[in-house]
Each structure stands twice: as structure tokens, then as C-alpha cells.
Chains A and B, each alone.
Chain A
């Protein structure tokens, strides 16, 4: 954990210094309107006038207490304040997507493994190839056009209606659910193919094991063999894969949130990139990586819960 955290800060810190010259020069050379005041702020924020190890140390001290400085936008809010407002949306959408991916992809993969080479399995394979190849932002556009504009079934932007404040609790939940269908649906579709494929292959691996054959030979019902003996072992690689897919989901939120105008971290990131709001970009980069790290940690813990071999120490 700790070496990874330090590594994350080191790479993020390197990003600040990626430009030939320092960011202050770039800022002024690209934007003629940028006053010397802006470059002074940058120098002060990142201590660019000091030796590099002190720069890093000062920056590290600040981010250790989650102080990423102040946004360069006119409102001048602190970066953390901005992120705090946005992060619940992103976490909500990603958790919804993860749950749905789990609920849909897992049974799909298991059924595919069980009915290997059947018509159902082959149809799923075609679907998997399509899922892999469709650019999700294009799919989002098409769904927006078809379900939002042509059919008018679903709202295409934001996560709440304008009259959200006046709704009943049930109405509020329904409203958010309705707004979530397109962004979550498209995001789930993007990951579904890969993870159901993994579930299928992982299940096939397990079904070839001797203990599955032994269980069958003892005359245990098929269902018991699949769900009691095989499933737990097949779950292991899938948990890893879901853990690994977290950065993809978080990264994808940039695209979904800007297409569907959802005021989450991804949209904030995109807006900040466009406005070259360096402190916000750096803050989100670090926080996104830390969130990923946390996600992987949760995957590790789940792993330990499912596999006692890991809980009692690898030998």
C-alpha cells in the first residue's frame, strides 16, 4: 500500500514537470491573457522557485492533508471543496455500474460455460465481440438520440430534473433512477463483454478440475456441483478482474459525465483540463489513483473472504 501511494504521488508530481520548461512558462506562452499574477500563483502553489526535492516535499505535505491548493477558476474555491461536491455523483454511478456488471456478467459467463458451444454460448460470443469493439461514447450518443430524442423515453442530461427539490422521496428516487438508466446502462454494456468472458473462461477452467469430476462421480446434483464446488473457485479470477476494471470505470466517467452532463468528478476533470486549471487536474489525478487503490484493496479483501488459502497465509 504505502510504496504504491508514494509511487502515485511521485508520478503525479512528475506530470507537473512533464513540460519542457515549467508549467508557468507554458501557461503564459499559450495564453497571452494569462497575467504574471497567474504564473506567480503557480510558482507559489508548487514552490517552483525552490530545488526539486523541496518542491516535492512541500507538495507531499500538502496532499497528505488533502490540500491541493485553490482552483484557478474565477470562483477560486479550494480544489478539495470542488471535488467534494462532485465525487458523490461519480461514486454513485460507478457503484451502480459495478453492481449491475456483477449481477449480469457473472450468471451470463457461468451459463455460457455450462452450455458451452450451444447456440446461446455462440450468440453471447458475437455479443462479446460487439461489446469489445463499440466505442462507448458513440454508443452513448446513439442511445441518447434513440431513447432520449427519437422516442423521448428517457432524460438525456443531468441526474435530476429541475423540479427535483419539490418531489416526494419516492419521486426523487424514481427521478434519479430514470436519469441513471442511460449513463449506467452504457457504462455497464462497455464492461459486460470483457467480464462475462472472463467469468466463462474461469468457470471452464474450474469445471475441468478433478474435484469437479469427483463431485459428479459421487452423484451430487449438477446444481450443487456448479454452485457449491465450482463457483467459489471460479470467482477468484473474476474478483481480480473487477478490481482491475475500476480504473477503467473511473476513467470512463470523464466521457459519460461530459456526454450526459452529469456534474461528477469526470465532468469537473474535463472542464478543468479544457480551462487548464492545473491544481484541479492534479487533485483529481491523485484522488482517482487513490480511489483505484482503495478499490483494489477491497478486491483483495473479498479475495481473502472467498479463498481461505489466502486468509491463512500463502504457503
Chain B
């Protein structure tokens, strides 16, 4: 029995560490991209178009003769950057709304939660595409728009946590000492709600990377020649009958990265919330 439990525990952590390893691996690739890439990712070579994977071009070349390996390596930068900034935006908005909504309650709470309900009615992808139509597709706009359309989950999470924490004795004690609401929120409640937010943020990065790649795939995200996993796949779709490497490698990169953040997020959730891991 004891041994069985031990094995289970190891098993659980192995998946989390695997996730962590994947996350770090891709962050390292993003940082050291210029040293890893074998070619300039935007160098066009029309004499060597759609070449199969080989020793000089590990992942082959695309329809303009650009080295797909180098493009995938540089694409890591965009994906991770977009993922982190978009989630940063959604977490900041979600924390603010959630804390205010849960702590003050009343009309403010009703208004914010209604706003959340309304935002959840929009198919997120429709809203993102519509906004991108009115703005211009660019890395900045994609990050901001993904962030602005994905804060609702964090808001609900933080609100629920705040509701339960504000009834605790230490908050009452702080109130009795006439400490200002802002100070109570920041110093006493925020540290207690931040853990589940951290988990949600890790999973959020995975979602943001998926959304960015889908947008770029449709030609409405990162614009060529800047390489992104999504826009390499666009070329993959156009040449699917004779260049499988254009579809397979960038897709694998997205899949493994997203898997990494998901494994890490789920592992952290189990680790940080003993109530759930008992199940």
C-alpha cells in the first residue's frame, strides 16, 4: 500500500517535471534561437524550393526556399512571447475584477459578473477575428486581443476565492484595525488567491499559444515574413499534397509546447491543492 502510494506520487511528479522540462527547453530555444538556427529564417532561395528534409535543411524548405528548421526555431520566440504577454494581460484584468467583485460585492459585483457573462456569450474566436478586422493583424494586436478576451475565467476564480477568504478572521481583524480596503486587498487577500491564479495562468499560456497559431494559420495573426508556427502551417496547407514536412514540424512544435504547459499546470494544481489531488 505504502509502496503503491509512493509509485503514484512519483508518477504524478514525473509528468509535472516532464512538463517543466518541455517549458524550459522551449524557453531556452527562444533565447538562443540565433545560435541554434542553421540559416537566416527569412532568407529566400528560389533555387531550392520545397526541398525535402536533409542534412543541410533538417526540416526541409518552404515554398520560397526558406529553411523550415530555422523558421520553427525563431517561431518559438513569437509563440512564447505572445503566450506570456497575452496571459499577463488577462491575469491582471482578471485579478483586478475578481478582487473588487468578490471583496466589495453589491452592485459592483453584479455589474462585473454580468460583464463576464456577456463576454462569455461571444464565441471568443469570432470576437478576436472581428476586432482584428478593425485593427490590423500584428503581433501586438494579437497579444492584446487574446488577453482582452480571455480574462473571464480568472475573474470568476479570483472572485470565488476572495468571497471565501474575506470572511476569515484575519481579514476581520485587519478591518477592525481600520486598515484601508486597498491595503487589505493587496496585502492580505491577494497573496491567498494567487496560487490558483498561477495554475490558471500556466494553462492559459497553452491556450494563448493555440489561439495565436490558429490566427496566424488563418493569415490574421503574425504576418510573414516573420516566422510563426501558425503561418508556417499556412504554407503547409497550401502544399499539403507534396510537402508533408511543412505541416508536420511546426504542428509538432505547437503540440509539444502546449502539452508541456498543460502538464505543468495540471501538476501544479495537484501539488498546490491537496483537496483535488485526493480524488
Contact = CB atoms under 8 A, between A and B. Distances in A.
Interface in B106-130: 114-115, 117-127, 129-130
Interface residues on A, range: 35 or more
A255 B220 CA distance: 12
A138 to B, nearest CB: 4
B155 to A, nearest CB: 15
B134 A26 contact: yes
B254 A135 contact: yes
Contacts of B127: 15, 285
B170 to A, nearest CB: 30
Contacts of A23: 134
Contacts of B118: 4, 7-8, 10-11
A19 B132 contact: no
A259 interface: yes
B121 A292 contact: yes
Contacts of B220: 273-274
Interface stretch (B28-36, B80-88, B174-182, B209-217): B209-217
Contacts of A285: 122, 126-127, 130
A91 interface: no
Interface string A230-266: 0000000000000010011011101100110000000
Contacts of B251: 135, 138, 141-142
Nearest to A27: B134
A129 B66 CA distance: 33
A292 B132 contact: no
Contact of A19 (B135, B218, B262): B135
A250 B213 CA distance: 18
Interface stretch (B94-102, B185-193, B235-243): B235-243
B72 to A, nearest CB: 13
Interface string B226-238: 0000000100110
Contact of B247 (A26, A30, A142): A142
Interface stretch (A170-178, A275-283, A304-312): A275-283
Interface in A126-141: 129-130, 132-135, 137-138, 141
Contact of B279 (A142, A201, A289): A201
Contacts of B43: none
Given A289-B121, A292-B121, A15 B131 contact: yes
A26 B135 CA distance: 8
Contact of A250 (B119, B126, B240, B248): B126
Given A7-B115, A129-B259, A142-B251, A251 B123 contact: yes
B164 interface: no
Nearest to A274: B219
B258 interface: yes
B36 to A, nearest CB: 23
Contacts of B237: 141, 259
B123 A292 contact: yes
A204 B279 contact: yes
Contacts of A252: 125
A4 B115 CA distance: 9
B247 A247 contact: no
B258 A281 contact: no
Contact of B133 (A3, A247, A259, A278): A278
Nearest to B132: A273
B255 A247 contact: no
B125 A254 contact: yes
B233 A145 contact: no
A288 B126 contact: yes
B121 A18 contact: no
A98 interface: no
Interface in A280-315: 281-282, 284-285, 288-289, 292-293, 296
A186 interface: no
Contacts of B241: 145, 149
B124 A141 contact: no
Contacts of A145: 240-241, 244, 247
B129 A269 contact: yes
B255 A138 contact: yes
A270 interface: yes
5 contacts: A11-B118, A129-B262, A250-B123, A251-B124, A269-B126
Given A7-B118, A281-B130, 12 more contacts: A8-B122, A11-B119, A18-B134, A130-B259, A132-B259, A133-B256, A135-B214, A141-B251, A201-B279, A247-B124, A255-B125, A274-B219
Interface of B: 114-115, 117-127, 129-136, 206, 210, 213-214, 217-220, 233, 236-237, 240-241, 244, 247-248, 251, 254-256, 258-259, 262-263, 266, 279
